[in-house]
Amino acid sequence: MRWIKYWVTTARRDRLRAATFLFFFTLLSVSVLSREATSQETTLRTQSNVVLIPALVKDQQGGIVYGLPASDFVVEDDGVEQTVRLDEVPEVQPISLVIAIQRGRRAYYEFPRMSGLKSMLDPLFSLGTVRVALVEFDREVDLTRDFTSDGNLITVDLNHLQAGNGGAAILDAIDYSVSLLKKEPEGRERVLLLISETRDHASILRNKLDAVVAAVGGSNTLVYTLTFSPALSNIFDTERGTNMEEMHASPDLLAPMLMAVQAMRKNIPKTVAELTGGEYEMFETRKKFDVRMNDFTNHLHSRYMLSIAPKNPHPGLHQIRVRLKDARNKTVLARSSYWAEGNR
């Protein structure tokens, strides 16, 4: 009987030890998982607060300034100076580019001046890391070509541009293009090249400029706008005799007055470019267009990739200011706002 009692006692001790071990193992596992979850949560929250700020620095003559360290930049978030980090940019940065071209109103007369666009894209396609989509718009916005790395397909599309109706839904085109770019994989530079006139005609989002700007900033899209003036182009084409089928084939004495009126109205491409840290340029001739496009391709790889990590940013729109500690006739082009979702 003793051995039975001893066996029972030993079995009880073994069960107690096993239960105790299981209890402490469970506590340890919960503790480890808890620490891991907390660590992951903190990491995710920190990552979500990082604000990327591509910045282009130009000198007084418009040349690009290279070689500046992070310590030369000052970034303020709602007036509060932030710690600035300068991230390394790969030598060959993968790029997703949407080209949005106006086809409505008088844009058809600008197509010959844009003929150099195809050749200007060749250096980008030669890198092997660019994907390009083509969007055309008048009153409506249409996707002519989804993202492709085949430059020949884009060339064919550009050779077959057709005149559109009497609309120029610029804001709708920007919003649609940004929605395309948002679907591109992370790690790719998102770029929108907008070619249009300055004034919006027929956009559904015409009165929602702030929402479109927020969408551009939220997607970290770089905007480059090349614009033309219909009134100015009409004057030049009249002098050249290339618009005889238009109503004002003879010199239009009201054109300068019309240009002045147009200038007083909101310039949508310029506004979007300035608010998002992009670039805005105008062209009147094919030569000017080629020069602007050459600048565009060069500037794509000339930006400083700044970043800040605001602590507990309030949800909503934030105003940011980027400047140099010692400007000395230098100009910084960078986004002026971003949208924070807040901590979850």
Alpha carbons 138 and 93: distance in angstroms, whole number = 32
Contact 333, 54 (CB under 8 A): no
The residue-averaged pLDDT of 198-222 equals 87
User: pLDDT tens-digit profile of 143-190?
Assistant: 999 999 999 999 999 999 999 999 999 999 999 999 999 999 988 999
Q: Tokens 């890391």 label which residue?
A: 129
Alpha carbons 49 and 312: distance in angstroms, whole number = 8
Q: How confident is the model at residue 50 (pLDDT cuts 50, 70, 90)?
A: confident
Alpha carbons 309 and 84: distance in angstroms, whole number = 8
Per DSSP, the three-state class of 107 is helix
What does the domain layout of the chain look like in residue ranges?
Answer: 50-89+303-340, 95-299
**CATH topology (fold) of 95-299:** Rossmann fold (3.40.50)
Half-sphere exposure (Cβ direction) of 330: Cα atoms closer than 13 Å: 18
Half-sphere exposure (Cβ direction) of 259: Cα atoms closer than 13 Å: 13
Per-residue pLDDT, 4 = 39
Average pLDDT, the chain: 79
pLDDT reading at 209 higher than 90 = no
User: pLDDT tens-digit profile of 93-107?
Assistant: 899 999 999 999 999
Per-residue pLDDT, 8 = 40
What are 194's strand-pairing partners? 100, 225
Most confident of 174-188, 239-253, 311-325: 174-188
User: pLDDT tens-digit profile of 6-21?
Assistant: 444 444 455 445 444 4
Alpha carbons 49 and 149: distance in angstroms, whole number = 32
Alpha carbons 113 and 204: distance in angstroms, whole number = 29
Per-residue pLDDT, 265 = 47
The residue-averaged pLDDT of 132-138 equals 98
Q: Which amino acid is at 218?
A: G
Count CB-CB contacts under 10 A for residue 321. Answer: 15
Q: For the whole model, what pTM was predicted?
A: 0.72
pLDDT reading at 75 higher than 90 = yes
- Dmax (CA) for the chain in angstroms is 125
Most confident of 252-256, 265-269, 290-294: 290-294
Alpha carbons 114 and 80: distance in angstroms, whole number = 43
- Measured between its terminal Cα atoms, the distance across the chain in Å is 65
The residue-averaged pLDDT of 50-54 equals 87
Per-residue pLDDT, 48 = 53
**Residue 317 main-chain phi, psi, to 5 deg:** -80, 135
Contact 224, 295 (CB under 8 A): no
List the single range of 34-43, 48-57, 59-68, 224-233 with lowest mean pLDDT: 34-43
Please list, in sequence order, all residues whose beta carbon lies within 8 angstroms of the beta carbon of residue 186, skipping any fewer than 6 positions away. none
**Residue 115 main-chain phi, psi, to 5 deg:** -60, -20
